[in-house]
Amino acid sequence: MNTYKHNGKLYRVFSITAFNRYYNVIVTKEQYLNGKLALMVLNLIDNGDFNNQTRTELFGMLTTNISSCLSNDTEAFVKTYSENEEWAEDLAVAIGGIKENISVPAGYEEIPLYDFNNLNIYADENSGS
């Protein structure tokens, strides 16, 4: 398992495929302004030596801020359309998300609800929560 230290926490590195390329990413746990779970995906910029990554850039948001029917802080709607279509569901499962039998309409799309009670993004349990 590859790891990456970001803002003092040691994260697990995940590989995803999007836009006909492979990316090494980490997922950080954030909050929307309303206090609901937000999962941000950061791309690791490769400087030729994986262990000496020096920076990250925003790759995308795994979640979307649709919170009207959320019952707890471990649930979030996963954006599975547009630029996230190729990778979002696989990454949601890889980090411990469990797809629930609930989705909400948003425009022409149905956005699925995931429970991230078993969120597994840190490489070391003592690195953060």
Tell me the C-alpha distance between 111 and 121, whole Å.
22
Identify the burial level of 25 via C-beta atoms within 10 angstroms of its C-beta, where 0-12 means exposed, 13-18 middle and 19 or more buried: buried
Q: Are 26 and 14 in contact (CB under 8 A)?
A: yes
Q: What's the distance, CA 129 to chain centroid?
A: 14
Inside any domain, residue 108: yes
Band (124; pLDDT cuts 50, 70, 90): confident
Inside any domain, residue 110: yes
Inside any domain, residue 12: yes
Inside any domain, residue 55: yes
Which structural domain, as residue segments, surrounds residue 11? 3-123
- Bridge-partner residues for 78, per DSSP? 63
Look up residue 122 and give its DSSP letter. B
Tell me the C-alpha distance between 126 and 129, whole Å.
8
Give residue-wise pLDDT tens across range 53-107.
568 999 999 999 986 666 788 999 999 999 999 999 999 999 999 999 999 998 8
Contacts of 85 (CB under 8 A, 6+ apart): none
Inside any domain, residue 41: yes
Give residue-wise pLDDT tens across range 16-49.
999 999 999 999 999 999 889 999 999 998 766 6
Band (128; pLDDT cuts 50, 70, 90): very low
